[in-house]
């Protein structure tokens, strides 16, 4: 299958964001440069893992080079509208391009063949699943991590007993032997 590569080399914007209300949100990675905007859907935990791995990569680069990364101004704007999903993310790749001094993030469409997914991730091949590839300056990558964590934490509060998300009506808490636990009121 012919591969479509959505390449963004130093985009004006690369963010994680959501559409919907807490408990029913759809998470997206969105890259934008000029009028071109590409959005790919993914799971909340994929955003969390990507943010963690990008932070680890940046910390490793800082420890190896001894050069601290300057802070970047946070991006607090919503996703660019309309959000049109190109594909749902099946696999992600992360790399450091030392020659260019950039973080490479790749989000790949799902494929049934796990070996094909592994062979094509972060590879310049003509055949394979569609992919969003973004090259980011390290300070922009750090801002991506900070925003991703804010987006993730903006969801439903966790149950203090079991850690599962609390709906406004509460949930059946396994730590209370199946009894219903309600979400606390805002003044509690």
For 180, other C-beta atoms within 10 Å of its C-beta total 10
How does pLDDT run across 20-62, given as a tens digit for each residue?
Answer: 988 889 999 999 999 999 999 999 999 999 999 999 999 999 9
Tell me how far CA of residue 1 lies from CA of 40, 119, 128, 136, 172, in angstroms. 19, 14, 6, 28, 46
Q: What does the block give as tokens for 188?
A: 């509690």
How does pLDDT run across 138-155, given as a tens digit for each residue?
Answer: 999 999 999 999 999 887
> Residue 5 pLDDT > 90, yes or no?
yes
Comma-separated ranges of CATH 3.30.2450 domains in the chain: 5-155
pTM: predicted TM-score of the whole model, two decimal places: 0.83
The residues near 78 (Cβ < 8 Å, ≥ 6 apart) are 17
Burial of 149 from C-beta contacts in 10 A (0-12 / 13-18 / 19+): middle
> Residue 128 pLDDT > 70, yes or no?
yes
- Decide if 104 contacts 135 (C-beta within 8 A): yes
> Residue 179 pLDDT > 80, yes or no?
no
Average pLDDT over residues 17-22: 92
CATH 1.25.40 fits 5-155, yes or no: no
For the sheet with 26-33, list strands across it.
13-19, 26-33, 36-42, 85-88
For 2, other C-beta atoms within 10 Å of its C-beta total 7
3-state secondary structure 101-167: CEEEEEEECCCCCHHHHHHHCCCCCCECCCEEEEEECHHHHHHHHHHHHHHHHCCCCECCCCCCECC
Q: What does the block give as tokens for 175?
A: 């730590």
């Amino acid at each position: 299958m012919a591969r479509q590569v959505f390449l963004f080399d130093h985009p004006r914007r690369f963010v994680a964001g959501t559409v919907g209300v807490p408990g029913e949100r759809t998470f997206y990675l969105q890259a934008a440069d000029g009028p071109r905007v590409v959005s790919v859907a993914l799971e909340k935990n994929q955003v969390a893992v990507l943010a963690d791995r990008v932070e680890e990569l940046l910390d490793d680069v800082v420890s190896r080079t001894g050069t601290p990364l300057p802070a970047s101004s946070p991006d607090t704007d919503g996703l660019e509208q309309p959000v049109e999903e190109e594909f749902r993310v099946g696999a992600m790749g992360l790399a450091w391009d030392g020659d260019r001094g950039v973080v490479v993030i790749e989000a790949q469409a799902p494929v049934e063949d796990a070996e094909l997914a592994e062979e094509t991730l972060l590879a310049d091949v003509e055949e394979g699943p569609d992919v969003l590839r973004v090259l980011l300056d390290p300070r922009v990558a750090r801002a991506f991590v900070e925003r991703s964590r804010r987006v993730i934490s903006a969801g439903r509060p966790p149950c203090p007993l079991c850690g599962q998300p609390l709906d406004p009506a509460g949930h059946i808490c396994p730590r209370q032997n199946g009894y219903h636990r309600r979400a606390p009121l805002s003044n509690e």
